[in-house]
Amino acid sequence: MAIDPGAFTARLILERPVETPDGQGGVLRGFETLATLWARIEPVSALLRETAGAERATVTHRIRLRRRDDIIGGMRFRKGMRLFAIRVARDPDETGRYTLCDCEEDRP
């Protein structure tokens, strides 16, 4: 699989989920920045659905970046106001050079 590193033109922020105590026995769930990196975003498919009388679109993407061993499902990428939830990350050609993430983006 030939991947052109020059195609990594999207500047993304990698975020991981964190939980902090809310002082009442529960937790507040949020995200914290882990890294800023260059990647390539490729739209794959879109699904339009109706939820509570409003239409929402879920767009799936493949996000390619240089190899990282710390990416797991549940993390997300941020690009401005856009959020890409990472479902799975893998080595696309098993050479240890790149990471390919299957992601979903919800759009109103």
Give residue-wise pLDDT tens across range 29-71: 999 999 999 999 999 999 888 878 888 888 999 999 999 999 9
Q: Is 53 left (phi over 0), alpha (psi -120 to 50) or beta?
A: left
pTM: 0.86
Question: How does DSSP assign 21-54, residue by residue?
Answer: E-SSS-EEEEEEEEEEEEEEEEEEEEEEEEETTE
Place of tokens 């109706």: 50
Neighbour tally for 65: CB within 10 Å: 24
Protein fold of 9-107 = Thrombin, subunit H (2.40.10)
